[in-house]
Amino acid sequence: MLTVDELASMIDHSIIDPFHTERDMVEGIETAIRYRTGRFTTQPIRVKAARKRLEDTGVLLQTYVGFPHGNDHTEVKLLQARRALDEGVQELDMVINISAFLSGDHAYVEQDVNAIVEAARPYDVTVKGILECFCLTRPQRLQAALIVERAGAQFVKTSTGQRPDMQASIAEDCRSMRAILKPETTIKASGGCFDLDALLLYYRNGARRFGASETATILEDLRTRIANGQPH
């Protein structure tokens, strides 16, 4: 059974929607610190300010590249990544080029991901490749996951989370990817992490990182279940 601290360490508390303001970032950081989440995810424009607020808190900072569709030129993604790296980001979530993948240009997709991995390497920064699974068939999802792994990314992430209405298969996606990826490649579930039961389901199916905004509700629910001796 997971403890509250164990689950919190797997959560990337995310305040990344286009309508999120600087005040939302500050409140999100306060939540991440209060619950000791593993990471806080912010918009690229707020990386520098967020890093300053997270200094010496134990919460790592991450942002995203090529969001949300992944169709930027590699050079543009590199510009985004290098700016974030120079401003102190500690993890990068990058969207694969979905259009290139669906067009069959898998070599380009791999090179695109690898470019960000190599840019992050001198900073010792982790890179996650985002698949946007709802755009892909299950065989395509598995193929894309293997490409991301082969490109050197340490994580495969199921979705940007921008289409929560299209995330019905997250558990199965996690399970099927876990069966083919190397043990050291971590799966991050995103886009459907709205409550504790969802996170626990994805955990049972192989996910070990979760992108969530309802972090306080999720962790308080777990705390209550533990206190009441309820199964979880």
CA 6: distance to chain centroid?
17
Q: What is the pLDDT of residue 161?
A: 72
Q: What is the DSSP letter of 211?
A: E
**Cis bond upstream, residue 68 (ω within 30):** yes
Question: Cβ distance 151 to 116 under 8 Å?
Answer: no
DSSP string, 98-139: HHHHHTT-HHHHHHHHHHHHHHHGGGT-EEEEE--GGGS-HH
Burial code of 97-129, b = ≥16 C-beta within 10 A, e = fewer? bbebbeeeeeebbbebbbbbbebbeebebbbbb
Q: Given a cut of 90, is residue 167 above it in pLDDT? A: no
Q: For residue 231, give the amino acid letter.
A: P
Residue 166, pLDDT score: 54
Query: Other CB atoms closer than 10 Å to residue 57's CB: what's the count?
Result: 13
- Taking 80 as the threshold, does the pLDDT of residue 176 lie above it? yes
Confidence band (pLDDT; 50, 70, 90) for 134?
confident
Residue with tokens 């669906």: 102
Assigned token pair, 211? 């992108």
Ranges 146-150, 190-194, 198-202: which has the least confidence: 190-194
Q: Which helix (H) or strand (E) holds 74?
A: helix 74-86
Report residue 61: phi and psi, to 5°.
-110, 135
Ordered structural domains, the chain, with CATH: 4-227 (3.20.20.70)
Whether the predicted pLDDT of 125 surpasses 80: yes
* Structure tokens belonging to residue 65: 């590249």
Q: Contact 94/81 with Cβ under 8 angstroms?
A: yes
Q: Count Cα atoms within 13 angstroms, Cβ side, for 203.
A: 18
Q: Which residue has the higher pLDDT, 176 or 18?
A: 176
Looking at residue 231, its pLDDT comes to 72
Q: Which residues are catalytic?
A: 93, 157, 188
* pLDDT 10s digits, 31-69: 999 999 999 999 999 999 999 999 999 999 999 999 988
